[in-house]
Structure 1
Amino acid sequence: MRPKEPCDRRGADRLPSALLCGAACVSAALVFSIFAFLAAFSWPVLSGGQLGSLLSWHWRPLAGEFGILPMVVGSLCLAGSAMAVAYPLALGVCCFVHGCGPAWAARPLFVSIRFMTSVPTVVYGLVSVFLLVPVIRGAFSGSGFSWLAAALVLAVLVLPTVVLIIDTQFQAVRAEVRVAAAAVGLAPSQEMRHLVLPLSRRGLAIAAVLGFGRALGDTLIPLMLAGNAPRVPGSLLDSLRTLTAHIALVVATDSHSAAYNSLFACGLILFLATLCVNLGVLSVRGRRLG
């Protein structure tokens, strides 16, 4: 009976592979189905002579203008500004935890970051409405519901995601260079600057791409804090509306008009943006940085 053991082992090894392959096929089929659904429902809008109205800078449903470009610009502005705040903070936190800061403070800081991942998004938004918005309103003119408020809170929301991705990369690199760094006599800060950071550029790029995708796809924070004005913001104190918040607002108030039909085009744009983010991650993983 012993000679049959390798065959049995190969059969046991094939089962997880088959299950993973099946799960991958199902996931791919679901993603393709979502794309087909959005494309099918967007086609009447895109081919019915409404493309010019859709790709305009004015959202006036009563006048027959359904321009979504202000929401596209608002999404990019908000996600980009949030990442401009969150990414340097995340990098600083990871450097602090991995040797640049005192050990007694590193662990509580990282535990706090991990705890932030379990806080619901609506809690961030609700607390900010009563704490952050009045501060902005008192310091500057306006209502306080602005690009600035949404960007700051969205940066806090995205921060744990970016920190955990960078931390995983740092752990993998430090495990490889720890012996060499100790042999040369490098201090933890020198090890981080001369070895860990240069060798982690691929992971740092992936963290930036995934963090941007996370910020781009959030709905509640821009819905609660950005003011939801369908226009291109001129400053950080102006209101803006993102594509995700736009979809939520229109769906909540309308379900039969041309404005509602334009939402499928918004969903298609978000889907393609998410696809570009994932392709960016694959591109970074598939090539050598530096």
Structure 2
Amino acid sequence: MERITRGLLLLSALVAGLAVLAILGFLVWLSLPLLCGEGLTQVLSWRWRPFQGEFGILPMLVGSLCLSTTSMSVALPMGLGLCCFAHGVGPRKPAALAMGVVRFMTSVPTVVYGFVAVFLLVPLVRAAFASGSGFSWLAASLTLSLLVLPTVVLMLHAQFELIEQRVRLTTAALGLTRAQAVRYVVLPAARRGLLAASALGFGRAVGDTLVPLMLAGNAPQVPGSLLDAMRTLTAHIALVVATDSQSTAYLSLFACGLILFVTSVAVNLTLRSLNRSDGGRA
């Protein structure tokens, strides 16, 4: 029975690995016609004007990175604060209620976040700053931060619980309150959990399509401020995928997919290396 279990686990790991390699090979193969020769300079440029023969996707790449970074800069502190509140800083009943709300947020479809933000957040941004239509980097960033918040909170929550189980007797012997234990023991020991939560949250933000598609304004430009419209790689793929499958614009989508794939792998490998070095010092 043990051999069968090991064999099934090994088979599952091989299938998963081969699936990832197949996706990478598919994207590389279909990107080659555009990435060879002059096509590479067309794609790696700053202008998207398909009717004028300009197919630059760098503005969308910058848009994806900017939107994901600002979303995580909001979601990570909020998630960390909520976990600290739930694990000793706040009263038990409100803390349990807050965690219940976070768990419920994981079941809400992404389109609901976007739909509500279109009618509530976008008019608020437009009225508050009296600039533009309200469909902007800021509106998309705030909504996306709510979308990735449950991922961050639940990852940190699991890490906090694991650490608390290991240090419960020690903190009790030292006479520390729950809040003091979180501040002086749990938080310093949760650095690896913070890195993992950052990786998962960033990957969730980079890969989301509906929020930037509905709220960011979809302008293929590098935003100069939080009130400017922008377009991400995922939204760009959704917008252009309906074009002629033989056109250069359509082929550029595979380059977008390849960049998203490579960016995701690079972020995860970087965070994993940081995780190892941090674990070695812990």
What TM-score does the superposition give when structure 2 sets the normalisation length?
0.96
Q: Tell me how far 1:281 sits from its aligned partner.
A: 4.2
Please tell me the residue identity of whatever aligns with 1:53: Q
What TM-score does the superposition give when structure 1 sets the normalisation length?
0.94
Please name the residue that 2:181 is paired with.
Answer: 191
**Number of corresponding residues:** 279
Distance, in Å, in 2 between the alignment partners of 1:45 and 1:275 is 22
**Structure with greater Cα Rg:** 1
Q: Tell me how far 1:231 sits from its aligned partner.
A: 0.2
Please name the residue that 1:81 is paired with.
Answer: 70
Match of 1:60 among 49, 54, 57: 49
Please name the residue that 1:157 is paired with.
Answer: 147
| Structure 1 position 228 matched with structure 2 position 241 | no
Distance, in Å, in 2 between the alignment partners of 1:196 and 1:230 is 44
Please tell me the residue identity of whatever aligns with 1:135: L
Distance, in Å, in 1 between the alignment partners of 2:174 and 2:40 is 63
Distance, in Å, in 2 between the alignment partners of 1:48 and 1:262 is 14
Match of 2:171 among 181, 190, 202: 181
Gaps of 5+ in 2: none
Please name the residue that 2:160 is paired with.
Answer: 170
| Structure 1 position 123 matched with structure 2 position 117 | no
Distance, in Å, in 2 between the alignment partners of 1:112 and 1:29 is 38
* Aligned-residue CA RMSD (Å): 1.1
8 A Cα contact 1:209 1:280, kept in partner = no
Please name the residue that 2:27 is paired with.
Answer: 38
Distance, in Å, in 2 between the alignment partners of 1:215 and 1:62 is 30
Change in CA separation of 1:227 and 1:163 when aligned onto 2, cut-off 3 Å: same
| 1:128-154 alpha-carbon deviations (Å, 9 max, x no partner) | 111111111111211010000000000
Q: Calculate percent identity across the aligned residue pairs.
A: 59
Match of 1:274 among 243, 259, 264: 264
Please name the residue that 1:14 is paired with.
Answer: 3
Please tell me the residue identity of whatever aligns with 2:14: C
Q: Tell me how far 1:83 sits from its aligned partner.
A: 0.3
Gaps of 5+ in 1: 1-11
| 1:207-229 alpha-carbon deviations (Å, 9 max, x no partner) | 11211111011000000000000
Q: Tell me how far 1:257 sits from its aligned partner.
A: 1.0
8 A Cα contact 1:73 1:232, kept in partner = yes
Q: Tell me how far 1:282 sits from its aligned partner.
A: 3.0
Q: Tell me how far 1:66 sits from its aligned partner.
A: 0.4
